[in-house]
Structure 1
Amino acid sequence: MGGYLFSIVLTVHVLVGVGVIGLVLLQHGKGADAGAAFGSGASGSLFGASGSANFLSRTTAALATVFFITSLSLSYLGSRAVSAPSNVMERAAPAPVDAAPAPAKGASGEGDSKLNAIPK
């Protein structure tokens, strides 16, 4: 269940992040207001002369709040300890680690000297 919740919150987080970026890029800067005063066509927009700025700024603030909440949720979900294993392979005991194999003896049967490993 925790893996699905993490994936859902992560997906929402990424989508909200892209939305915040898009909304910030759509908004006009402070210098654009002087151009709007001389009739740059902002009064003919969908939301009116000042309605678009108000709508975009409120939507950006709402998405930023959701982004902040999903960031905290992801940090909480990512820091929780993993409980029981979720599949059979994780439940299986790890294979025992065998001791290193005994070194092969040379042709003369004397220990593991490198000189004895050279064929004669």
Structure 2
Amino acid sequence: MLYNILLIVQLIASLGIIGLVLMQHGKGADAGAAFGGGGGGGSTGGASGSVFGSKGSGNFMSRTTAILATIFFINSLVLAWLVAHPEGAESSVVQSAVVSPSQAPQIDVPSAPSDVPAPTGAVSSDSASDIPEAPKE
């Protein structure tokens, strides 16, 4: 539940940062306006006719972007911590990875017939063998 809420906050913060960065004027925008690169001429007085005023947009938008970036950064750290430490998990990665020999699962490997021929030496009659002897040449 907490993870989903933080994920939604992360999404809203990231979309807000993207929107605010795209709305801001770059530092090089004033140099372009000085050479007649737009700005709305006439009675508006260049960039002074913007919604937030000439300096107000920089302060308001840059502060809001900084706040959203801080929220994004802290939220990223909390999300990473939640993923690394799930509820009910063991406290150490080493403890979960190292298994003692008594706890190790026992694997039963069925014995398959071998393609290797039996030794040609004398076989005692006490040991019954299902493997035939190799032909003698």
- TM-score calculated relative to the size of structure 2: 0.54
Question: Which of 60, 67, 76 pairs up with 2:65?
Answer: 60
Question: Which of 61, 71, 77 pairs up with 2:82?
Answer: 77
Off by >6 Å, runs of 4+ in structure 1: 36-39
Amino acid at match of 2:81: Y
Alpha-carbon deviation of 1:80?
1.1
Bigger-Rg structure (1/2): 2
- Aligned partner of 1:40 in structure 2 is 39
Structure 1 distance, partners of 2:83, 2:34, is 47
Of Structure 1 and Structure 2, the greater helix share is in: 1
- Aligned partner of 1:26 in structure 2 is 23
What is the CA deviation profile of residues 48-93 of structure 1, one whole-angstrom value per residue up to 9, with x for unaligned ones? 1111011111110000000001000101111113418xxxxxxxxx
- Count of aligned pairs between the two proteins: 96
Alpha-carbon deviation of 1:46?
2.0
What is the CA deviation profile of residues 93-118 of structure 1, one whole-angstrom value per residue up to 9, with x for unaligned ones? xxxxxx9xxxxxxxxxxxxxxxxxxx
- Aligned partner of 2:11 in structure 1 is 14
CA 1:68 to 1:37, structure 2 compared with 1: closer, same or farther past 3 Å?
farther
Report percent identity of matched pairs. Answer: 57
Structure 1 distance, partners of 2:56, 2:35, is 15
Structure 2 distance, partners of 1:47, 1:30, is 17
Unpaired segments ≥5 residues, structure 2: 41-46, 90-107, 109-137
- C-alpha RMSD over aligned residues: 3.2
1:5 paired to 2:2: yes
Amino acid at match of 2:26: G
Unpaired segments ≥5 residues, structure 1: 85-98, 100-120
Amino acid at match of 1:43: S
